[in-house]
Amino acid sequence: MKILHASAEYFPYIKMGGLADMLASLTKVQAQSEEVYVALPLIGTMGKEPQWTGKEFKALLAEDTNEKTMAVSLLAKARFREAEESGVKLYFFDSELFLNLASIYGQAEEHYRFAIFSYACYALSQILKVDAFHAHDWHTAISLALQKNSSKSIPSLFTIHNLAYQGDHPFWMTGFLKEDPFRLVTSPFDHDEKCNYMKVGILSAGQITTVSPGYREETLTEPNGFGLSYVLNKRKANYSGILNGIDPDEWNPESDKRIFQTYNLQNWKEGKSKNKEELYREIGRPNLPLDAPLIGLIGRLTYQKGFPTFLQAFLERRHLPHRYVVLGSGDPETENAFFHLSDTMPDVFYFYKGYNESLAHKIEAASDFFLMPSLFEPCGLNQMYSHAYGTIPIVSRVGGLKDTVEESIDPKFKTGIVFEPNDVGSLGYALERAKDLFVSPDRDIVVKNMMKLDWTWKKRKLEYDNIYKSAIERLQ
């Protein structure tokens, strides 16, 4: 089977969140048995220089070359440049719209830039004659409308990674979608009097998935449907939840070259202690006690991630022996609060603003617990990384977190600590339970439970295979 993925992110080239990791690890496994292609933008600042093959492909179909619009002109000048990574063929969209970008998101005219990219992805699917077209999130949703309207429509799948981000724009900004080469009727895409790209994907795709069964159920009702639950309910029969997986070549404490000392199920205590010692030295806190629990937090500092709830719970439970290392950036108010704690309580709290892949691995390896206080979480990957590294996750009972972390009374089935979302008291009590578990003999049992879990793509790849087959059958 030939599969083309269309995405704004792909690790290690463009990474802003879990989408990049998810797609890189999924396609790596798919490429073992299928022909797998990924279309993504070529931006000015990349995480890695692509290994170019020298091949190029057009971004505009021949039947659209005679039209005279700005979009056609831009696409005529653009190209897809082919590269290769782990058996996957990558097609970087080389266009003046993206080349000067230092970051893929948060730029002016995203509505236009991603629509142009979406057409190019649609064109590439036709040029490569793929069997299945798989678009990810609102940035590539317009390509699905083009597939649906095409006389040469290709079976399609749309994966929702986060319904909170929908790409909705006033209709006066999206009039170009009615012109060549799009030629779309945009009235069905109306939501709250805006052209909603996420709604485009939901209405147009042959099949729809999201990244966990729990999140699927949550999005079918409000408020977690973010206004689109009614559309998802219309497509409910074609809407599935499939958990993400992780790449054991990237996230494995036994072979991880980014951490200070590798370890496994047999020597995890020694390994964690050494990693904690070296991490404290690297961050300039060499005198922090190794026998106190270390809690790691990594993520974008956004409303979704629930950091204000954590801050309040932390201040109310400051008597606990925990130390905290936080890696992330985002909301300025949250950043300032973390900087303040890092400066005024250096023996308890450390904050690194930004994202650092190497430091993220070191935090996972050194931490005894990993906290995810999300208000909602489509899937989450850090709890799976934490399981692999013997780092006990403390998570809110939402989405993919509740699908992957179990706090059983019986330690033989326990794989973490779970609390209620947006509840300071519940999170505070979870921190209390973490203190008790740290010194309990049950900790050994829980860590072994976690490190034996298999969160690789082996099973989930088969689930996607079945979805592709359903999309193909639906079009026949």
| Spatial separation of the C-alpha atoms in residues 20 and 142, rounded to whole Å | 20
| Spatial separation of the C-alpha atoms in residues 431 and 419, rounded to whole Å | 10
Tell me if 129 is assigned to a ligand binding site.
no
Look at residues 214, 217, 211 and name the one whose alpha carbon lies nearest to residue 233.
217
The DSSP bridge partners found for residue 92 are: 40, 81
DSSP 336-391: HHHHHHHHH-TTTEEEEES--HHHHHHHHHH-SEEEE--S--SS-SHHHHHHHTT-
Tokens 């921190």 locate to: 431
Q: Rg for the chain (alpha carbons), in Å?
A: 23
Contact by Cβ (8 Å): 451, 387: yes
Starting from the edge strand earliest in sequence, which strands make up the sheet with 168-170, in order? 168-170, 194-196, 190-191
Contact by Cβ (8 Å): 296, 391: yes
The number of angstroms, rounded, from the C-alpha of 69 to the middle of its chain's C-alpha atoms is 35
Residue type at 300?
Answer: R
Residue positions forming the annotated binding site: 15
Known binding residues for ADP-alpha-D-glucose are 15
